[in-house]
Structure 1
C-alpha cells in the first residue's frame, strides 16, 4: 500500500517516483564508492596490496555492469519493485557482513561478488526503465537527472565515508553503507508502483495508455535482444564509447583519485572533497546534458564530452596538484562525468525502440562497467609495478579521444537498429 494516493497527483505522480528512485540511486551509488575509500585503510589494517583491493573493486564493477541487462529483463518479468527491493536487501546484507571480514576472499565475496550483483539492478538500467515507463515528455531531461544521481551519490558520499575511515577505521564505513541501503527499502516499497497503469495513471505527457507487449523470460529476453542489437554497427559504436566512459570515470577517477592524491601527500578527506565537488557539478552537468539532448544532435554532444574528458585526463598528472589546479579539474570533470548517458540512451532508443531500449541500454551499460572494471584493476596493477599513475592517466586520456571519434560515426533513427 502506497503512503500517498497517486491519483491525487495525476500524471505529476511521475515526479514522486523519480524523486524516490533518485534517492535510491544516490544511496546505491554511494555504496559503490566505498571501495575507493577502503583501499588505504585496508592496506594499513590487514597489509593487503593495492592490487588485491583493486581486484575486489574491479569484480564488483564488472558484475555491476553484467547484471544490468538481465536486471532490465527481470523488471519486465518478475517486476520492478521486487527486483529493486531484493537488490537493496542483498547490498545492505553484504555490506553488514563485511564488517567481520578478515581474509582477502571475504572482501572479494562481499564487496566484489554480492555487492556487484545487487548494485547491477540499482543502476542505469533502473533509471532507463523508470523513464521509459513513466514519461513520454521530457524523457532525456529526466534521464539526465537520474543519471546524475548515480554519479553524484558516488562522489558526495565519499567525504563522509573518508571521514569515517580516518576517524574510526574501515568498519564504520561498511556499517554506514549497510544502514543507508536498508533505509531505502521502505522508500521504494511505499512510493514506487510497478508502472503507471498499476495505480490508474498514464505516463507523464501521454494521452493514451501504452500497449504492453508480452515479455519473454529473463534470460531469453536479455540474450535475444542482445543478438538482435549485436547485428548492428550502432550497437557496437555505443558499446565501445560507453566502455571508454566507464574506463575514464568510476573505474579510474572514482576508484583511484584518492589513492593518487595520497601519493602526492594530499589527505584522504581533502581528496574526497574533490570528488564531492565533482558530484555537485555532475548533477548540474548531466541534467543540463539531458536538456541539450532533447534539442541537439546527441552525436555532437558525445564528441564534445569525450574529447574534453580525454584532454583533461592527460593534463592531470602534469599539473602541480595545487588547490587551484585540482579545483579546476574537479569542476570541469564533474560537469563532464556522466553527461554522456542522456545522449547515449537517446541514440539507443531511436535505434532499437522503446520496448527493447532499456535492455539494449543494459548491455551498453555492461560495456561501461567492463571498462570501469578494467581501469580499476589496471590502475592498481600499474601503480604497483611502476610506482605511479602516469601511464594509466595518459592511456585513459587517449581512449577519451578515440571515443570522440567513434561518436560521430553512430547512425541515427530506426535504420540504425537495422542489421548492418
Structure 2
C-alpha cells in the first residue's frame, strides 16, 4: 500500500492521542497527584523528618532533568512506541519495587531511577513528539486533548490510592498501581505508531503537507548545539519557564495563602479540585484555540487568564475570591503544557520536538525550582502574598514579551 492509498473514516492519529493521554494519566495520577499520599505513608513507616521524606521530590526532579536531554534525543531517533513501553515497564516496576522498600534510602533510590525513567518516557515529551508527527492542522487540539490525561489521572488515581491505603495498606496499593501500569501495555502496543507512513498514510487529512502529497515535515532534526544557538529556542524556554513558575508556585502556595485568610483544610481542598477541573477544560480549550488563533495569540490568552486570576486573588482576599481566582487560574494553568509542547514543533519541525523539550527541561530549573521557595520567602518577610502576586504577574508579562519577540514564527494558525 502506498502512503496515499489509505483513507480511513477515523484518522488513526486520534488513537495516538488516546495512547499518549493514557501515559500522561498514569504518570500524573500515580506520581504527581498522589505524591502527598506517599510522603505521609513514608513518614509513618520510617519516622524520618519531613525534610528527608520530601527528598523524594528532589530525587525525581534532579534525575528527570538530568535524563531529559538524553530521552529527547532517543525520542527523536528511535521508536516512540518502544520507548513508551519501556517507560511503562519502568513505572510499573518502580511502583512494585517501592512497595518493598525497607529503608528511606531504598525509597530515594527508586525515586531517582525507575520512577523518573517512567515519568520521562510516558509523559508529555514523547506524547508531544509522536502527536506532532501525526497532526499539523489540528495539532494544538490533539496536544491539548492528550494533556487532559494528567487531569483525568488527578481525578481518578488519588481517590483510588486513598481507598486502597485505608482498606489494605500502602504497600499493597503500590503493587496494584504497578499492575495497573502493566495492564496498559496492550494500549501502547496496539495503538501507538511512530508515523502515518507506518500505516500507509501520507498524513493528517486536510493539512498542507497531505494536500501537497508530501510527508509531515519531520525529517529535519536539529542537533542540541544548533538549538542552543537558536534565538527562538531561548525565547520559548523563557516563555514556558515563566508560566510554569507561576503555575507551580501558586499550586504550592495557594493553600498557605488560604490558611492566612483563615480558610479550613477541607475548604482549601475544594480550591485544588476546582483548579484540576478547570485545568482539564483549559487544556482542551487552549489546544482548540491554538489551531484557530495561532500559538502566539493563544499564549497571550493564557497569560491573560493567569494574570487575571492573580489580580482576583490580590483584590478579593476572601474565600469567594479564592474560589474565583482558582477557577480563572485553573483555566490558564491548563493551557501552559499544550502551549509549551506546541511551540517546538512549529519552530523546529516535528522531528526535533523530543530534543527541544528535553533540553528545555533542565534549563527551566533556575526558574521553576526557585519559584515556590521565593514566594514563601516573600510571604515570610512581608507578612502577606501581595508581593507574590505582583512577582507572578511580572512572570506573565515576561512570557508575553517572549511570545511577542518570537514574532511570525508562532503567530500564524495551523489553518
TM-score band by shorter chain is 0.7 to 0.9
Q: Which residue of 2 aligns with 1:285?
A: 282
Determine the C-alpha separation between the residues in 2 that align with 1:262 and 1:104.
Answer: 31
Q: Partners of 2:315 and 2:42 in 1: how far apart?
A: 29
Partner of 2:149: 149
Report how far residue 240 of structure 1 moved.
Answer: 1.7
Q: Which residue of 2 aligns with 1:240?
A: 238
State yes or no: 1:331 paired with 2:336.
no
Deviation at 1:333, TM superposition (A): 2.4
- Please give the root-mean-square deviation of Cα atoms over the aligned residues, in Å: 3.9
TM-score, length-normalised on structure 1?
A: 0.78
Q: What does residue 20 of structure 2 align with?
A: 21
Task: Give the C-alpha shift of residue 239 in structure 1.
Answer: 0.7
**Secondary structure of 1:350's aligned partner:** helix
- The DSSP-based 3-state class of the residue aligned with 1:120 is helix
Q: Displacement of 1:104 after TM fit?
A: 3.0
CA distance in 2, matches of 1:254, 1:165: 24
- Which runs of structure 2 are paired with 1:88-99 in the superposition (5 Å)? 88-99=88-99
Match of 1:210 in 2: 215
- Cα 1:358/1:267, change in 2 over 3 Å: same
- Measure, in 1, the Cα distance between the counterparts of 2:125 and 2:365: 12
Equivalent residues in 2 for 1:203-282, closer than 5 Å: 203-205=203-205, 206-207=210-211, 208=213, 210=215, 225-249=223-247, 251-253=248-250, 266-267=264-265, 274-282=271-279
Question: Which residue number in structure 2 is paired with residue 406 of structure 1?
Answer: 402
- Check conservation: 1:140, 1:342, Cα contact below 8 A: yes
| Structure 2 portions without partners, runs of 5+ | 1-5
Which residue is equivalent to 2:87? 87
Alignment of 1:139-178 (within 5 A): 139-154=139-154, 156-165=156-165, 170-171=170-171, 173-178=173-178
Distance in 1 separating the partners of 2:291 and 2:282: 14
Question: Which structure is higher in RCO with an 8 Å CA cutoff and minimum separation 6?
Answer: 1
Question: 2:3 aligns to what?
Answer: none
> SS at 2:70's partner residue?
helix
CA shift digits 1:349-394 (9 cap, x unpaired): 3332333244223333454566545457x389969x99x9959955
Structure 1: runs of 5+ lacking an equivalent: 1-6, 216-220, 416-420
In the aligned structure 1, how far is the partner of 2:384 from the partner of 2:25? 29
Mark the CA change 1:19 to 1:25 in structure 2 (over 3 Å): closer, same or farther: same
Instruction: Provide the secondary structure at the position in 2 that maps to 1:202.
Output: coil
Q: Using a 3 Å threshold, how does the CA distance of structure 1 residues 409 and 156 change in structure 2: closer, same or farther?
A: farther
**CA offset at residue 162 of structure 1?**
4.5
Deviation at 1:134, TM superposition (A): 1.6
Structure 2 distance, partners of 1:38, 1:379, is: 25
Aligned-residue offset at 1:120: 0.9
Counterparts in 2 of 1:354 and 1:24: CA distance versus 1, 3 Å:
closer
